[in-house]
Amino acid sequence: MTMSKPNWQALINEKRAFRESQIPLEWRLDEMITSQAHRDNPISAFDLLDQTDILTQHERDMTENYDATALLAQLACGAISSLEVTEAFCKRAAIAHQLFNPLTEIFFDKALNRAKQLDAFLAREGKPMGPFHGLPISLKDTWMVKGEAATLGFVAYLTKPVAEENSPIVDILLDGGAVLYCKTNVPQGLFTLEGENNVFGLTMNPHKLTLGTGGSSSGEGALVGFRGSPLGLGTDIGGSIRVPSHVSGCYGFKPTANRIPFAGQQFHFRKGWPGMLPSAGPHANSARDLMFFCRTIISKEGWKRDSASLAIPWKDVRKKKLKIGFWQGAHETPVFPPVLRALRKAAEVLEAAGHEIVPVSTPEGAGTSQCLNIYVHSLGFDTKATLMKFLDDAEEEILPGMKDFRNLMADIPKSTLDDVWKFYADRADFRTAWHTKFTDADIDVLLCPCHQGTGMPHSGYGLPIYAMIWNLLDCPASVVPFLRSNKNVDSEKIEGFDTDAVDGAPTHVQVVGWSFRDEEVLMATEVISDALEKFSVTNL
Amino acid sequence: MTMSKPNWQALINEKRAFRESQIPLEWRLDEMITSQAHRDNPISAFDLLDQTDILTQHERDMTENYDATALLAQLACGAISSLEVTEAFCKRAAIAHQLFNPLTEIFFDKALNRAKQLDAFLAREGKPMGPFHGLPISLKDTWMVKGEAATLGFVAYLTKPVAEENSPIVDILLDGGAVLYCKTNVPQGLFTLEGENNVFGLTMNPHKLTLGTGGSSSGEGALVGFRGSPLGLGTDIGGSIRVPSHVSGCYGFKPTANRIPFAGQQFHFRKGWPGMLPSAGPHANSARDLMFFCRTIISKEGWKRDSASLAIPWKDVRKKKLKIGFWQGAHETPVFPPVLRALRKAAEVLEAAGHEIVPVSTPEGAGTSQCLNIYVHSLGFDTKATLMKFLDDAEEEILPGMKDFRNLMADIPKSTLDDVWKFYADRADFRTAWHTKFTDADIDVLLCPCHQGTGMPHSGYGLPIYAMIWNLLDCPASVVPFLRSNKNVDSEKIEGFDTDAVDGAPTHVQVVGWSFRDEEVLMATEVISDALEKFSVTNL
């Protein structure tokens, strides 16, 4: 089954050539621009975009000044056509791709055809096809779209046939009138925090190309953050939606596991893991888009298509004044100045807006080290190291993130059956400790960091412990972009923090609720986002 | 830690003497009656009850002709007092105990005092204390009630101190105005199907003392089936609510795991089992009581008291004409004539009542043998055999059920970590197979047997595979009593079936819905029960 290195390089070259061929010539950027787009240039892709006029003013307006909800309102009444919206996002995604490499599969042609059909449907029927009518939606590479590949950046997967069926959620999107146009990049092995693999290369951060995009929904976060997509579908088992969202300055939401259908993705991990529960969820450019996506998908009763999906109907909850727990992180994992500043400013703004802020301390025995300890042990359950096998099968070069992952795994003793018991017992204790914090303070949501820092220089993100906690507890959690790193203000010296390197990177807050309270977290995310946006607009 | 046999016999004698002392002298049955109450006499406890007039006509009326819902309506408006209802059920439970031994802890005094307080509350406040106002509720021995023991029939637990705190659900019941008055018997080790242990002895079937009560909520099923309790709280990890309910002719419901708070029970299994999910749920004398109990408990938001309890609010669903899947069982585990007759008659009655009956065949590779295979392997994960340790610690005599269990375990190879992966993978496949059956037929619920047979001669119940399937799938399932075994009709010869032995035993149907559709299953159980009761009354 192993293939020699020369062979894999040829396969990669072929795949990349195919990918580039999917970008129409008229959307190709001038070499003067693309020559600036590389990992060592601390430039913003937004600034590079300003150097081209491939996008018309109307296309810039549609992609920059509307969220998905606003676009859908226009699409549903025919005020704008699906074709013009789709073309705008295809073009912007094409530009994004040439600037920071977020895409894996590109199928703009199919998308434009589909958009025409949807426009014809609206004209003919006098009503939209469904709640996603005419809207382009991007997908993490793991999702299956009939006729498209899903290689996950594994060289060994390059020879797999294209998908014969859609993932159940992809069917729901299509039934609802969505337009699919591209799939997006992931880290090698999907368990690391840098959007790079041997097949598709490195995805860079649109806000500063020297920074990483996090993982594992790396390309989704970057594409949506650049507004090359109005709505993206990712997955999150340890921060994989929230990390790429916060580093690229967009919104992201990890629901309670299996509230959004997760089934039917490309296989990349041994079947039957008795460890963490993964979630599917959205990347977006507004809090209300997160809400819209989840409400719409859940209302489509995915549990009839996916045997693991939970038959829990959507529940509408009203906006209200919130009681917000405020956790500034654990001493053992200090939060870096820009994120801490954003977090404190957010608490201040929210309090001024009439919400109650309740300080919450780290529960005893349930801080970041214990989270990491429990989480990492569950990764060790795969004594067959399936993940590494995909790489070894193709004699792939192991990239830095995956080397770190392998070293982390090498440090833990070989797992036994007793370790699974210990994992379940430790997780239950961890859960009780945090449950007590939530119930004693009687909070609606917890405001906290999603990471120590912002997006970090390539391969330097570190472990996403502040995201992983909520996977370990299966709690719904969103990230909201708020403010940016500023080297003139964020000057405190902390190990691992380089204020110059991250200057200008988006900062964020994380909003967390107890398990199954997805609707409440989404409502709170909207309420919090409204207050923070009002502050940001006033203080531009 | 081990104690010698003479010592444990003394401890048992002391415990039994204490238990008997809790039954007031004036409620003791004549020796002429009690001498008939033994495991070799195929008599009904209902017939023995007719030989005494300890219960007044009013007490017989209250205990026999009202379900919990009807009693609560009378209690809430003061038409009957909590004291009279409580005294009636204490008396009836005392009689039950002398006839078939269902009780472990008896605290009638406290109950009568509590009832007086509740009557005073209603008189003073002009309103009931809560939804359970004044109603006696019985509890499986595993539940913790402050000041009461929870020995689970383990000799090693006889020296444990009494409970210092209530289980969270016990607090919910008490906050709601319930009256607690007794706890009930369980099988040795709780993983077998015969309500017998060395501490409390054997619980017999009220309908025929030669038959067993199933397990593990053995005493609950028997007590509620005899109407010695209007509502009981049990737990179910492999049929433990449904089996004792159907063998003793009452209703029982196993919810989706953790919809009813499960926390705070007496410890009896190693912490951190990566296997089956247990459920807490009600035993009752009507389908509407199952609905009432679940709706009320879930509305009290147990997730604020129990970190594992799911924050999924109660959802009202309306009664409707049902689409009912009809599964008559798997060829490899033939259903005995009386149960098959009840099942077929039920389908006939339901169809005549206007419901749609859709035959459902056993899904390929997901029948009873495969269920048993997957389930039993998960029991083998405890390589430390914690359950046996409690017995060994006290050098307890191992009873037949536990011997069978030990033999079953001895047959499977020693588990490793890979077996846990296999369990999760196999369970997912099993789930997909059944999911396809449910979705292809587009059914509201599945009508099927809960067991091959009815209650069986002592130690002869067999493996409760038709109940276990729905634990393996975490599907909500209820049992509804319907008809009885009749040796004149159920004459077909099948291995393991003795028509004379079970003549007169209650038969049943099981009603199952997909995971998390608890409300729909409870609604369907009411609808089905209404139709079956109407038939039973007409055909008396």
DSSP A283-321: EESSHHHHHHHHHHHHHT-GGGT-TTS------------
**Does B3 have pLDDT greater than 60?**
no
- B170 CB neighbour count, 10 Å cutoff: 24
Mean confidence (pLDDT) of chain B? 96
Q: Are B94 and B229 in contact (CB under 8 A)?
A: no
Q: What is the DSSP string of A321-355?
A: --EEEE----TTSPPPHHHHHHHHHHHHHHHHTT-
CB B448 within 8 A of CB B340: no
| Token pair belonging to B248 | 């003793």
The residue among A299, A317, A420, A472 with the most chain B CBs within 10 A of its CB, best to mutate, is A420
Contacts of B521 (CB under 8 A, 6+ apart): B253, B445, B476, B477, B478, B511, B512, B513
Q: Is A240 annotated as a binding residue?
A: yes
Q: Does the distance separating the beta carbons of A516 and B420 come in below 8 Å?
A: no
CB contact set of B184 (below 8 Å; sequence gap of 6+): B102, B103, B104, B138, B139, B140, B141, B203, B217, B218, B219, B220, B222, B223, B232
Q: Is B44 part of the annotated catalytic residue set?
A: no
CA–CA gap between residue A227 and residue A214 (Å, rounded): 17
pLDDT of residue A1: 41
pLDDT in tens for each of the 540 residues of chain A? 445 566 889 999 999 999 999 999 999 999 999 999 999 999 999 999 999 999 999 999 999 999 999 999 999 999 999 999 999 999 999 999 999 999 999 999 999 999 999 999 999 999 999 999 999 999 999 999 999 999 999 999 999 999 999 999 999 999 999 999 999 999 999 988 999 999 999 999 999 999 999 999 999 999 999 999 999 999 999 999 999 999 999 999 999 999 999 999 998 889 999 999 999 999 999 999 999 999 999 999 999 999 999 999 999 999 999 999 999 999 999 999 999 999 999 999 999 999 999 999 999 999 999 999 999 999 999 988 888 887 887 788 899 888 888 888 888 888 999 999 999 999 999 999 999 999 999 999 999 999 999 999 999 999 999 999 999 999 999 999 999 999 999 999 999 999 999 999 999 999 999 999 999 999 999 999 999 999 988 876
Q: Per the CB < 8 Å rule, is A274 touching B274?
A: yes
Cα Rg of chain A, angstroms: 22
Contact at 8 Å (CB) between B132 and B173? yes
Q: Do B312 and A516 touch (CB under 8 A)?
A: yes
- Cα–Cα distance, A431 to B137 (Å, whole number): 31
How far, in Å, are A341, A376, B262, B332 from residue A269 at the CA level? Answer: 38, 15, 32, 35
- Straight-line distance from the first to the last Cα atom of chain A, in angstroms, rounded to the nearest whole number: 57
What gap in Å lies between CA B196 and CA B413, rounded to an integer?
A: 28
Confirm if B91 and B27 have CB atoms less than 8 A apart: yes
Considering only CB atoms, which residues of chain B are within 8 Å of chain A?
A: 270-274, 303-305, 307-308, 310-313, 315, 381-383, 415-426, 428, 431-432, 434-436, 439, 514-517
Q: Pick from A453, A449, A457, A437: which is nearest to A514 by CA?
A: A437
- A448: which strand partners? A510
Across the interface, whether the CB atoms of A311 and B419 are under 8 A apart is answered no
User: Quick one: pLDDT at residue B4?
Assistant: 56
Residues 6+ apart with CB under 8 A from B119: B81, B82, B83, B134
Q: What is the pLDDT of residue A390?
A: 77
Enumerate the residues of chain B whose CB falls inside 8 A of the CB of residue A274: 274, 420-421, 423-424
Give the best residue of B259, B315, B417 to mutate against chain A (max A CB count within 10 A).
Answer: B417
Mutation target for A interface from B415, B420, B516: give the one with most A CBs within 10 A: B420
Burial class (CB in 10 A: 0-12, 13-18, 19+), A243: buried
Q: Which residues contact A253 (CB under 8 A, 6 or more apart)?
A: A241, A242, A281, A282, A284, A290, A293, A294, A476, A477, A478, A479, A521, A522, A525
- Our answer to whether residue A140 is catalytic in this structure is yes
Cα nearest neighbour of B421 on chain A? A272
CA B355 vs CA B291, B352, B531: distances in Å: 21, 7, 10
Is A322 annotated among the ligand-binding residues?
Answer: no
Per-residue pLDDT, A396? 87
A12 residue type, one letter? I
Q: Binding site for substrate: residue ranges of B?
A: 190, 216, 237-240
- Of A138, A167, A240, A478, the catalytic one is A240
Nearest C-alpha of chain B: how many angstroms from A439? Answer: 6
Q: Which chain B residue has its CA at the smallest distance from A515's CA?
A: B311
- Between CA B496 and CA B511 the distance in angstroms is 25
Chain B residues inside the 8 Å CB shell of A417: 381, 383, 415-417, 419-420
Residue of B138, B216, B217, B378 with catalytic role: B216
Question: Taken in order B234, B238, B244, B249, is the CA torsion positive or negative?
Answer: positive
Cβ-defined contact of A420 to B270 (cutoff 8 Å): no
Q: Which residues contact A96 (CB under 8 A, 6 or more apart)?
A: A45, A102, A103, A206, A222, A223, A226, A228
CB contact under 8 A, A304 and B270: no
Q: Which of A15, A44, A91, A140 is catalytic?
A: A140
SS (H, E, C) B86-107: HHHHHHHHHHHHHHHCCEEEEC
- Asked if B439 lies within 8 A of A304 by C-beta distance, the reply is yes
H/E run at residue B417: helix B417-441
pLDDT in tens, B22-62: 999 999 999 999 999 999 999 999 999 999 999 999 999 99
Q: Which residue of B has its CA nearest to A430?
A: B307
Residue of B nearest to A304 (CA): B439
Q: How far apart are the first and last CA of chain B?
A: 57
Burial class (CB in 10 A: 0-12, 13-18, 19+), A118: buried
pLDDT interval class at B6 (50, 70, 90): low
CB contact under 8 A, B272 and A426: yes
Nearest alpha carbon to residue B465 among B337, B334, B358: B334
Structure tokens at B83: 């004291």
Mean pLDDT computed over B352-356: 98
Residue ranges of the alpha helices (H) in B274-320? 287-299
Q: What percent of chain B has pLDDT over 90?
A: 90
Nearest Cα neighbor of B171 from B130, B127, B116 is B130
Which among B94, B79, B83 is positioned nearest to B117, based on CA atoms?
B83
* Out of A75-89, B6-20, B143-157, B395-409, least confident range: B395-409
Least CB–CB distance from A270: residue in B270, B421, B423: B421
Distance from CA of A170 to the nearest CA of B (A): 19
Count of positions (residues) in chain A: 540
Both tokens assigned to B338: 């009386």
- Mean pLDDT over B271-299 rounds to 97
Residues of B in contact with A434 (CB under 8 A): 307
CA distance A114 to A129: 12
Q: Which residues contact B130 (CB under 8 A, 6 or more apart)?
A: B175, B176, B177
State the number of CA atoms in the 13 A half-sphere of A408 facing the CB.
18
The reply to whether residue A424 touches residue B381, judged by beta carbons under 8 angstroms, is no
User: Starting from the edge strand earliest in sequence, which strands make up the sheet with B506-512, in order?
Assistant: B103-106, B179-184, B136-140, B231-236, B279-284, B251-254, B477-484, B506-512, B445-448, B323-326, B356-359
Distance separating alpha carbons of residues A301 and A313, to the nearest angstrom = 7
Question: Which position among B15, B91, B140, B345 bears the catalytic label?
Answer: B140
Nearest CA in chain A to B425: A272
**Partner residues linked to A251 by β-bridges:** A284
Q: Which of A256, A271, A307 to mutate to test the interface with B (most CBs of B within 10 A)?
A: A307
Sort residue B103 into left (φ over 0), alpha (ψ -120 to 50) or beta: beta
Asked whether the beta carbons of B271 and B244 are under 8 A apart, the reply is no
Q: What is the ipTM of this complex?
A: 0.95
Taking only Cα atoms into account, the Rg of chain B, rounded to an integer number of angstroms, comes to 22
Of B311, B420, B432, the CB nearest to A274: B420
Which DSSP string corresponds to A2-49?
A: ---HHHHHHHHHHHHHHHHHTS-GGGPPPHHHHTT-STT----HHHHH
DSSP B123-136: HHHSS-SSTTTT-E
Q: Which helix (H) or strand (E) holds B445?
A: strand B445-448
- Are B435 and A307 a contacting pair at CB < 8 A? yes
Per-residue pLDDT, averaged over B106-126, amounts to 98
In the predicted structure, residue B80 carries a pLDDT above the cut 50:
yes
For residue range B383-429, list pLDDT tens digits in order: 888 888 878 877 888 998 888 888 888 888 889 999 999 999 999 99
CB contact under 8 A, B423 and A272: yes
Q: How many whole angstroms separate alpha carbon A194 and alpha carbon A462?
A: 10
Q: Do A423 and B272 touch (CB under 8 A)?
A: yes
A369 catalytic residue (yes or no): no
Q: Enumerate the residues of chain B whose CB falls inside 8 A of the CB of residue A422.
A: 272
Q: Which residues of chain A lie closer than 8 angstroms to B436, CB-CB?
A: 307
Rounded Cα distance, A61 and A69, in Å: 15
